[in-house]
Structure 1
Amino acid sequence: MALPSTIHRATIQLSHVDRGIYETFQTTLARHPSETAERLVLRLLAYAICYEPDLTFTKGICAGDEPDLWSRGPDGRVSLWIEVGTPEPERLLKASRHAGRTVLLASGPSRFRWDEQYRAKLADVPNLVVLGIDFAFVSQVAAGLERSIAWDLTITGGTIYLTSAGKTLECALEVLKGQLSSWQISGTP
């Protein structure tokens, strides 16, 4: 018998100064039994960093042809496709052809090797933004992960300040390709 997914409920007070977004939102995430705590944290960070009203989590690991998060327009077309981790560049190239905007929140123990091998292949993709986040930061956040998540998250000057359970962590949000701050909240690049 397969193990069930673990449900996490998150409340995030977001102050994304760089994009002018100040929201408090609640969301629910399902963590597949094969998903690491670090990957779940990356998905939740991507949700906050790229927040817009229609952004939703997909089936993720269970559906290989879907991104980790997405926004769809009124016509059903994908306006924003978000991946986390260090996916193959072909996946990002395909996503950028099918979505108005594509974002990768790159992080993982082998992220710097991924940068060296693949970033050049993605340099000419106009609707792709690649953001880097330190895996040690993600691991620290994941170490304190519980089923009920309450974050105060501020992003200003390219730095993330995350407060959870009275502890504040800080990490640079590296823009490796493109510009997230110039995007409209409404979903148009």
Structure 2
Amino acid sequence: MALPSTVHKASIQLSDIDRGVYESLQATVARHPSETAERLVARLLAYAIFHEEGVQFTKGICVGEEPDLWSKEADGRVLSWIEVGVPEPERVAKAARHAGRVALLACGNSLPHWERHHLPKLVGVGNLTVATVEQAFINRLAALVQRSISWEITITEGTVYLQIGGESLETPIAVHCGAR
């Protein structure tokens, strides 16, 4: 019998001073049994870092053809396609041909290899943003993850400041191509 997904309730107070975005975000996120805590928090970070009106979580890991997050027009056209991890560059380039905007929060243990071998193939894609945060930041958030997640995030001058349970964490956002 297959294990069920774990449901996490997330509440994020977002103050993105760099982009002028101030929102109280609420999300219910399913964590597939094969998904790591690091990937779960990376999806939540991408939700905050690339937040815009209408962005929502998809079925993600359960459906290989969907990104982690997206926003769509009423007619089904994809406005924003947001990925997490280190996808194949062909997948990202294909998404860029079909979506108005593509954003990737590149992260994971194989990130240095991916940056050397795959990022150069994507730098010229006009509607693509590739950003990274420090893996140690993601690892610390993963260590603190619970079923109920409450974050206060401030983004200013390209740095994420995150409050969680009385602890303050920070990481720079490195934008490798495009604009956040």
| TM above 0.5 | yes
In 2, distance between residues paired with 1:130 and 1:52? 16
1:147 corresponds to which residue?
Answer: 147
Count matched residues: 180
2:119 corresponds to which residue?
Answer: 119
Deviation at 1:25, TM superposition (A): 1.7
2:106 corresponds to which residue?
Answer: 106
Identity between Structure 1 and Structure 2 (%): 58
2:36 corresponds to which residue?
Answer: 36
1:11 corresponds to which residue?
Answer: 11
Deviation at 1:21, TM superposition (A): 0.6
In 2, distance between residues paired with 1:100 and 1:129? 12
> TM-score, normalization: structure 1?
0.94
Amino acid at match of 1:163: Q
Amino acid at match of 1:131: A
Amino acid at match of 1:10: A
In 2, distance between residues paired with 1:19 and 1:53? 13
Greater shift in the superposed pair: 109-118 or 155-164: 109-118
In 1, distance between residues paired with 2:46 and 2:27? 13
The superposition leaves residues 116-152 of structure 1 with CA deviations (integer Å, 9 ceiling, x where unpaired) of 1011111211000000111111000000000000000
Deviation at 1:53, TM superposition (A): 2.2
> TM-score, normalization: structure 2?
0.98
In 1, distance between residues paired with 2:131 and 2:123? 13
Deviation at 1:52, TM superposition (A): 1.5
Deviation at 1:76, TM superposition (A): 1.4
RMSD between aligned alpha carbons?
Answer: 0.7
1:131 corresponds to which residue?
Answer: 131
In 1, distance between residues paired with 2:110 and 2:4? 29
In 1, distance between residues paired with 2:37 and 2:159? 22
Q: Which sections of structure 2, spanning at least 5 residues, go unmatched?
A: none
Deviating 4+ runs (over 2 angstroms):
none
In 2, distance between residues paired with 1:15 and 1:80? 20
1:168 corresponds to which residue?
Answer: 168
In 2, distance between residues paired with 1:168 and 1:100? 35
Greater shift in the superposed pair: 68-77 or 139-148: 68-77
1:94 corresponds to which residue?
Answer: 94
Determine helix, strand or coil for the equivalent of 2:118: helix
2:85 corresponds to which residue?
Answer: 85
In 2, distance between residues paired with 1:146 and 1:118? 33
Determine helix, strand or coil for the equivalent of 2:90: helix
Determine helix, strand or coil for the equivalent of 2:67: coil
1:55 corresponds to which residue?
Answer: 55
Deviation at 1:50, TM superposition (A): 1.1
